[in-house]
Amino acid sequence: MRMSLERYVLAAFLEDITARASLRLAAMSDGRYTLRHSDERVKGNAASGLSILVGDAFTGVEREVGSLSGGETFQASLALALGMADAVQSHSGGLRLDTLYIDEGFGALDPEALEQAMAELDRLREGGRLVGVISHVAALQERIPAGVRVRRTRTGSHVEVCLGDG
């Protein structure tokens, strides 16, 4: 089975994205998880050559990303989003992607994983990026110093702008 030119180019981009995402996921998981692009072709699979595997340093086993828990899946998804932004920025001739919005997902994280994800987002912020988070998780709201809060009341929704010390 031969790979089409289109799939070959996509696989090359995916290789770059997963390499960058793997660094971020390793940081968020205390070195436990890494990501790897797999170009293994599976007969009858339209996405052959475009698979992602997760390496687990605790077990020494590489497995399908579908085997991750909800919180681990969120960490991997966040790492892939950041890896994609890094890759686009790297290949765009100087274009900076300075803003990132994340909608939910934090509720699936245990306190330690939440702390690791927030540390990664703090590193982005310290690097000059604006990170917007949409969440109902109280611990997360307490950690973010400034934001826009939308409160639902009987008379409608009200917007409150909160300016923090950060």
Does the pTM of the predicted model rise above 0.85? no
**CA distances (Å), 147 to each of 111, 129, 135, 138, 161, in order?**
21, 15, 11, 13, 6
More confident residue, 25 or 47: 25
Q: Report residue 104's pLDDT band, with 50, 70 and 90 as the boundaries.
A: confident
More confident residue, 130 or 48: 130
Computed over every residue of the chain, the mean pLDDT equals 85
- Res 116: pLDDT: 87
Over residues 10-18, the mean pLDDT reads 92
**Which amino acid type is present at position 89?**
Q
Over residues 98-110, the mean pLDDT reads 83
- Res 166: pLDDT: 47
Q: What is the pLDDT of residues 66-75, one digit of tens each?
A: 899 888 998 9
d(CA 55, CA 51): 13
Domain residue spans of the chain: 5-162
The highest-level CATH class for domain 5-162 is alpha beta
Q: Report residue 111's pLDDT band, with 50, 70 and 90 as the boundaries.
A: confident
- pLDDT surpasses 50 at 56: yes
